[in-house]
């Protein structure tokens, strides 16, 4: 009684074309899902998996902290057999003789990903300042698009009607990956996690002002066992993101690799809450996987391993999630306070992925890290892909990546093209070795001028170079692994 879901004519917020407003003002992404979703109230929700509540400041409390038991009979037998999923395959080409590093190829329905490979971030299905064609020519293979942004605008149904993200962007023969949207939603709750765990690999402590802002926004998110309620950054409308609804949205978008819903706790969380959070993440990821397997649609799903820097929890997360029929593993959650903690984490954690042939046979993705030093460290510990918006973001501000001239096997450096010293750097390339279109045609002096004059092309030329640099770096690392140098 009360409201009808029979027709899309009930939509009252046409900006969110995928959303169906409900009596409580929430929107959910799919008509098919709506009868199965219990919309959570602002105070608490009870479900058959436990009772969870969130108070007005967004703090999560929960009982029933157990992860679901390892119940293989919950999943069809074929889901465990990669041969029954021929559209997606990871092939190891060479295992380094001196480290965990490996060279491989991920075969997807839209092309190959050479690994180790850098994954560029195209938040709104567009790279900042760089056309996909140019990026592809620079060797860019896998590109990461954000479900959260595409759900809010233009709506995942629009992408579906366009024929999926490959047809929509006309990038038809290269692979995409999408995330669940959870990362952005939880960033609203806990302040900018993205800033906290900056892509330079260092933890940025939020100052007083930012903390206040984080507090102000924290009531934007309500977490329950069912999922997360959040407000659109565009007009404040409320949305419900569940383990099932993110899969529905990612089916609409149609990327080659998709990600289940996970919870991202704040960095400074106490252990009890971290335990609860990891267990909830396991339950959510299990639900997402079940939903995905109902209609695989030639998509692969990676799990997201959680547990922060806690050995016991990370180990538990790996043991549980690798027992389920996921197609690959993403390393998520808190990766530590800076490069050193990340290094320590990978040092003891990554060998767990080599413990069995089954685990070794799947690709591993490191979420949100792509500074060169961290990449080099991740690669020797057997990470296959990693994503970051860092190269394109710093390009917009005039920071350009350059090789280490003294020793190309060591991390490179960067230059600030806006510095006055570049005003007369006639004939000086950004990087003598670089074969990108920017370096082939322009010198530092002209680029300095374009940046100082705020010409829009400046950011494009800089981003083109940085994307090329990252892909060339990965190429060099693959060669180093092939020859057992790293």
3-state secondary structure at position 37: coil
Using CA atoms, how far residue 211 sits from 25, 208, 218, 429, in Å, is 29, 5, 10, 42
262 given a catalytic annotation:
no
Q: Cα–Cα distance between 441 and 429 in angstroms, integer?
A: 9
Residue 415 Cβ vs Zn ion, minimum distance, rounded to whole Å? 12
Contact 401, 414 (CB under 8 A): yes
Alpha helix positions (H), 304-368: 311-321, 339-349, 357-360
Binding mask 456-475 for Zn ion (x = CB under 5 A): ---------x----------
Shortest gap between Cβ of 465 and Zn ion (angstroms)?
A: 4
- Least CB distance to Zn ion at residue 472 (A): 9
Question: Is 189 or 434 the residue whose CB approaches Zn ion more closely?
Answer: 434
Q: Is 354 a catalytic residue?
A: no
- Helix axes 456-482 and 444-452, enclosed angle (nearest 10): 130
Nearer to Zn ion, 26 or 120 (CB): 120
Give, in degrees to the nearest 5, the angle at Cα 219 between 121 and 33: 65
Start-to-end CA span in the chain (Å) = 65
Of 82, 76, 52, nearest to 64 (Cα)?
Answer: 52
Q: State the CB neighbour count (10 A cutoff) for residue 324.
A: 22
Interface with Zn ion includes 439 (CB under 5 A)?
A: yes
- In this chain, which stretch among 211-219, 300-308, 381-389, 439-447 interacts with Zn ion, using CB under 5 A? 439-447
Q: Which residues of 280-312 are buried (b: 16+ CB within 10 A; e: fewer)?
A: bbbbbbbbbbbbbbeebeebbbbbbbbbbbbee
SS3 223: strand
What residues numbered 407-436 form the site for Zn ion, per CB under 5 A?
A: 434, 436
Residue with smaller CB distance to Zn ion, 10 or 428: 428
* 27: number of Cβ within 10 Å: 22
Q: Is residue 403 part of the contact set for Zn ion (CB under 5 A)?
A: no
Compute the residue count for the chain.
486
262 or 431: whose CB is closer to Zn ion? 431
Q: How far is the CB of 414 from Zn ion (least distance, A)?
A: 12
Interacting positions 270-309 with Zn ion (CB under 5 A): none
Shortest gap between Cβ of 439 and Zn ion (angstroms)?
3
We find the least distance from the C-beta atom of residue 113 to Zn ion, in angstroms, to be 23
3-state secondary structure of 89: strand
What is the smallest separation between the CB atom of 12 and Zn ion, expressed in angstroms? 50
Return the H-helix or E-strand segment holding 334.
Answer: none
Lookup: tokens for 66: 């157990």
- In the bound state with Zn ion, the residue whose beta carbon lies nearer, of 30 and 438, is 438
CB 335 within 8 A of CB 85: no
**The residue to which tokens 């590093």 are assigned:** 101
Please report, as residue ranges, which positions from 306 to 325 form the binding site for Zn ion (by CB under 5 A).
Answer: none
3-class DSSP assignment, residue 456: helix
- Residue 457, Cβ density class (10 Å: 0-12 exposed, 13-18 middle, ≥19 buried): exposed
- CA-only gyration radius of the chain, Å: 22
**Which one is catalytic: 179, 262, 384, 431?**
179
Residue whose tokens read 């089916």: 251
Looking at the Cβ atoms of 273 and 418, the one nearer to Zn ion is 418
Q: Which is nearer to Zn ion, 100 or 438 (CB)?
A: 438
Q: Where are the alpha helices (DSSP H) in 10-152?
A: 31-34, 132-137, 147-152
Minimum CB separation from Zn ion for residue 20, in Å? 48
The nearer residue to Zn ion, 248 or 417, going by C-beta atoms, is 417
Catalytic residue among 387, 431, 472, 480: 387
For Zn ion, the closer CB: 68 or 412: 412
For residue 204, the minimal CB distance to Zn ion (Å) is 28
- Annotated catalytic sites, by residue? 179, 387
- Summarize as ranges the residues that interact with Zn ion (CB under 5 A): 434, 436, 438-439, 465
């Amino acid at each position: 009684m009360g409201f009808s879901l029979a027709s899309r004519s009930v939509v009252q917020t046409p900006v969110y074309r995928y959303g169906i407003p409900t009596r409580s003002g929430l929107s959910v992404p799919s008509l098919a899902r709506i009868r199965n979703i219990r919309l959570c109230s602002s105070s608490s929700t009870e479900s058959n998996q436990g009772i969870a509540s969130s108070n007005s400041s967004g703090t999560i409390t929960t009982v029933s902290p157990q992860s679901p038991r390892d119940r293989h009979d919950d999943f069809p037998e074929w889901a465990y057999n990669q041969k029954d999923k021929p559209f997606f395959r990871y092939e190891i080409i060479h295992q380094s003789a001196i480290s965990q590093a490996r060279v491989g190829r991920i075969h997807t329905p839209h092309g190959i990903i050479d690994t180790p490979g850098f994954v560029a971030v195209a938040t709104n299905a567009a790279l900042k300042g760089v056309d996909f064609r140019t990026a592809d020519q620079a060797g860019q293979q896998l590109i990461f698009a954000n479900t959260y942004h595409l759900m809010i605008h233009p709506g995942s149904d629009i992408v579906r009607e366009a024929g999926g993200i490959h047809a929509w962007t006309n990038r038809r023969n290269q692979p995409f990956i999408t995330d669940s949207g959870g990362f952005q939603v939880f960033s609203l709750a806990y302040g900018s996690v993205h800033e906290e765990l900056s892509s330079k690999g260092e933890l940025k402590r939020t100052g007083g002002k930012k903390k206040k802002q984080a507090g102000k926004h924290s009531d934007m998110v309500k977490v329950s066992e069912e999922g997360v309620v959040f407000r659109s950054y565009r007009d404040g409308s409320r949305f419900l993101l569940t383990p099932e609804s993110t899969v529905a949205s990612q089916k609409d978008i149609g990327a080659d690799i998709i990600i289940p819903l996970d919870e991202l706790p704040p960095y400074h969380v106490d252990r009890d809450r971290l335990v609860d959070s990891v267990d909830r993440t396991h339950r959510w990821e299990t639900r997402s996987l079940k939903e995905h397997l109902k209609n695989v649609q030639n998509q692969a799903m990676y799990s997201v391993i959680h547990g922060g820097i806690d050995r016991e929890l990370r180990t538990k997360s790996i043991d549980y999630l690798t027992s389920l029929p996921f197609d690959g593993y993403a390393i998520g959650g808190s990766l530590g306070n800076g490069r050193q903690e990340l290094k320590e984490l990978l040092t003891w954690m990554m060998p767990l992925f080599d413990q069995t042939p089954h685990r070794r046979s799947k690709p591993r993705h490191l979420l949100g890290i792509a500074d060169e030093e961290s990449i080099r460290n991740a690669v020797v510990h057997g990470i296959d892909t990693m994503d970051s918006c860092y190269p394109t973001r710093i390009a917009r501000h005039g920071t350009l990546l350059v090789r280490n001239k003294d020793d190309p096997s060591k991390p490179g450096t960067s230059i600030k093209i806006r510095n006055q010293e570049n005003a007369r750097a006639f004939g000086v390339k950004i990087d003598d070795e670089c074969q990108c279109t920017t370096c082939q045609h322009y010198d530092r002096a002209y680029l300095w001028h374009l940046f100082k004059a705020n010409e829009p092309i400046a950011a494009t030329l800089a981003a083109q170079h940085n994307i090329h640099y990252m892909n060339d770096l990965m190429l060099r690392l693959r060669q180093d692994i092939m020859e057992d140098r790293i």
